[in-house]
């Protein structure tokens, strides 16, 4: 599934920018994984990255884009730069099949579009130079495999990325990483949780409320509090619901942050979206205690479905970044 998503992410880039060359396409995959790791704590494509002269490269994507295949045509055009320069053969691509966007959540689709927007019009050399400023490239030699934990960027790197249009944001990273770890741990615990464990989890929830970025994400605050109430109910009644509830909120808070960053924080569509999410979480919280972990799947699915229309309109208007 991860490989298929990677292929269709590349197809999406080819559809949106038919002139995209291989170096930029490789950076597109890299920046998606980099931002996803920092917002949700894992690489979207589960890639293995190699340190190369022009920056970090997904070894599987590099191999896959080397020759024409069943998904896209690869064409190499001879070009010469300068009187004494060597002939260079940049690869361009033509999709053979359409991208299947149903493979991606609205957050993932908006992330792909944001990265493409940040890369638009940039020379491959400048994009490569940007990756050379990151610790994950500096601390390794050509050919080395880059450990995933090196994708965890620091404050200076976040500022550099956002200056160049790659929106990372700190609260998503804090919330998603913290709550995914907590949710996975308590979901595997014997139900009901003991009082001490419930108290410890609620302390984490209290800390997250205190760190919620107001007024920046005020549009999402009521929905977030509804999720918080629902999660507190789940840890008392059925901890197995925790991972699905956390995923739903994590995708939503990441997505809403993109929308707010695109100056759509008070749009009618976004306000309606957040109100709908709040209602969804309240409905789960008000329902009787559930016994089967499959029940929140409907909530997660519906939350993601609700973002589809909004994502299409907002994704086209993502800015290139803070100037």
Average pLDDT value for residue range 248-270: 86
Show which of 129, 163, 197 is a domain's final residue.
163
In a domain, 100, yes or no: yes
Strand partners, 55: 52
Q: Rounded to 5 degrees, what are φ and ψ at 88?
A: -120, 140
Domain end residue (candidates: 163, 182, 206)? 163
pLDDT at residue 196 is higher than 90:
yes
156 and 28 in one domain? yes
Who contacts 312 (Cβ-Cβ below 8 Å, separation ≥6)? none
Terminal Cα-to-Cα distance of the chain (whole angstroms)? 37
Are 134 and 236 part of one and the same domain?
A: no
Residue 177 domain boundaries: 170-315
Burial label, 174 (beta-carbon count in 10 A; 0-12, 13-18, 19+): middle
Is the backbone peptide bond immediately before 215 cis, with ω within 30 degrees of 0?
A: yes
pLDDT at 76: 80
Q: How far is CA 125 from CA 21, 22, 54, 185, 314, in A?
A: 12, 12, 8, 44, 29
CA distances 159 to 175, 213, 261, Å, are: 19, 17, 15
Tell me: do 12 and 78 sit in the same domain. Answer: yes
> Which of 121, 120, 124, 152 shows the shortest CA–CA distance to 136?
152
Last residue of a domain, one of 163, 178, 194: 163
Indicate if 15 and 159 belong to the same structural domain. yes
57 and 92 together in one domain:
yes
Q: Check whether residue 90 and residue 115 sit in a common domain.
A: yes
* Same domain as 153, residue 255: no
322 occurs within a structural domain? no
Instruction: State whether 21 and 157 are in the same domain.
Output: yes
Q: Which residue has the higher pLDDT, 61 or 318?
A: 61
323 domain residue, yes or no? no
Q: Starting at the earlier edge strand, list the strands of the sheet with 55-58.
A: 55-58, 49-52, 145-146
Question: How would residue 320 be classed by pLDDT, with cut points 50, 70 and 90?
Answer: very low
Q: What is the pLDDT of residue 191?
A: 77
Ranges 71-75, 190-194, 281-285, most confident: 71-75
Contact in structure between 265 and 219 (CB atoms under 8 Å): yes
216 found inside a domain: yes
Q: Say if residues 113 and 318 touch (Cβ distance below 8 Å).
A: yes
Residue 221 forms part of a structural domain: yes
CA distance 302 to 311: 14
Asked if 191 and 106 sit in the same domain, the reply is: no
Q: What are phi and psi of 290, to 5 degrees?
A: -100, 155
Domain-located, residue 320: no
Q: Name the domain count of the chain.
A: 2
Kindly state whether residues 228 and 293 are assigned to the same domain: yes
Specify if 204 maps to a domain.
Answer: yes
Same domain, 152 and 193: no
Question: Quick check: 315 pLDDT over 50?
Answer: no
Question: What six digits make up the tokens of 159?
Answer: 């500022």
- Same domain for 105 and 237: no
Instruction: For residue 171, report the phi and psi dihedrals to the nearest 5 degrees.
Output: -65, -40
The verdict on residue 321 lying in a domain is no
Q: What is the pLDDT of residues 106-165, one digit of tens each?
A: 889 989 999 999 999 999 999 999 999 999 999 999 999 999 999 999 999 999 999 999
Q: Note whether 22 and 91 are within 8 A (CB).
A: yes
């Amino acid at each position: 599934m991860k490989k298929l998503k990677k292929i269709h992410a590349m197809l999406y880039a080819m559809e949106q920018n038919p002139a995209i060359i291989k170096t930029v396409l490789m950076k597109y995959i890299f920046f998606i994984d980099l931002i996803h790791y920092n917002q949700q704590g894992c690489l979207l494509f589960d890639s293995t990255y190699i340190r190369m002269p022009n920056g970090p490269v997904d070894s599987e994507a590099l191999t896959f884009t080397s020759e024409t295949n069943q998904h896209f045509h690869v064409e190499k055009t001879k070009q010469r730069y300068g009187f004494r320069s060597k002939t260079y053969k940049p690869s361009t691509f033509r999709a053979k099949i359409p991208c299947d966007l149903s493979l991606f959540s609205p957050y993932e689709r908006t992330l792909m579009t944001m990265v493409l927007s940040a890369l638009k019009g940039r020379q491959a050399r400048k994009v490569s130079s940007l990756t050379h400023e990151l610790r994950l490239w500096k601390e390794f030699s050509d050919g080395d495999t880059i450990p995933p934990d090196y994708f965890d960027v620091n404050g200076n790197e976040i500022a550099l990325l956002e200056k160049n249009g790659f929106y990372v944001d700190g609260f998503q990273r804090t919330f998603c990483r913290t709550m995914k770890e907590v949710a996975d741990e308590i979901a595997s615990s014997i139900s009901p949780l003991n009082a001490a464990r419930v108290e410890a989890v609620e302390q984490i929830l209290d800390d997250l409320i205190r760190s919620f970025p107001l007024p920046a994400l005020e549009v999402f605050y009521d929905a977030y509090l509804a999720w918080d109430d629902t999660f507190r109910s789940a840890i008392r009644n059925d901890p197995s619901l925790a991972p699905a509830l956390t995923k739903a909120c994590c995708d939503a808070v990441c997505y809403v942050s993109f929308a707010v960053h695109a100056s759509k924080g008070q749009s009618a569509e976004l306000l309606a979206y957040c109100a709908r999410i709040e209602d969804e979480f309240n409905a789960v919280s008000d329902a009787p205690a559930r016994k089967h972990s499959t029940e929140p799947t409907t909530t997660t699915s519906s939350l993601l479905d609700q973002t589809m229309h909004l994502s299409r309109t907002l994704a086209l208007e993502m800015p290139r970044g803070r100037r």
